[in-house]
Amino acid sequence: MSQQRQALAFSQLHRKNNPVILYNIWDAGSALAVEQAGAKAIATGSWSCAAAQGYQDGEAMPFARLLQTVQRIACVVSLPLTVDFETGYGADRRDNLSALLQAGVVGIGLSDLTLIAELCEVSALPVNIMTSNLTPPLADLTAAGVSRISYGPHPYIGLMENLKQQARALY
């Protein structure tokens, strides 16, 4: 599917009262697993991508490394791909964004907080949120009009905790 068609498909997934669910991934392997599980789109999480490469979140991972990860993800999945762009990775934001688009990305996420229900009511644009331990239930977010729900680093954190527990059992 062309990038233009993927962008259109991704846009059409953002609907009030029927949000697209994004189970954030961190590399090509996790992207492929989530695609095979039935996802409608693939989304990176900055925390997960950084941690999987040994970096802290908050743009500590060099943009070149993020771009390499994104390019590899785009090679193995056929779904629309959106990337957590944090605050743009430095002064070269436009060049960085251009590089992501050339890699096949059709959406980006920027770090911000919103008043979910109020924003959904007044915004003509889709409202997107990332879950946390304080996030209301999915049904409430759906009823509020949220168009996209992302799980951020939570899949990565859970799997890494499971990996630690399995390794501890051996040592």
User: What domains can be seen in the chain, in order of their start residue?
Assistant: 3-170 (3.20.20.60)
Please give the Cα distance from 22 to 42 (Å, whole number): 7
Mean pLDDT of successive 10-residue segments in the chain (171 residues)? Answer: 88 89 96 97 95 94 97 97 88 88 86 71 74 82 88 90 95 93
- The half-sphere exposure of 171 on its side-chain side, counting CA atoms within 13 A, is 6
Q: What pLDDT, on a 0 to 100 scale, did the predictor assign at position 110?
A: 65
Q: What pLDDT, on a 0 to 100 scale, did the predictor assign at position 129?
A: 81
Tokens standing for 100?
Answer: 């992501």
Q: What pLDDT, on a 0 to 100 scale, did the predictor assign at position 73?
A: 98
Residue environment code for 65-81, b if the CB has 16+ CB neighbours within 10 A, otherwise e: ebbebbbebbeebebbb
Q: Which of 88, 100, 95, 92 is nearest to 7 (CA)?
A: 100
Amino acid at 126: P
Per DSSP bridges, beta strands 81-86 and 42-43 are: parallel
Q: What pLDDT, on a 0 to 100 scale, did the predictor assign at position 47?
A: 92
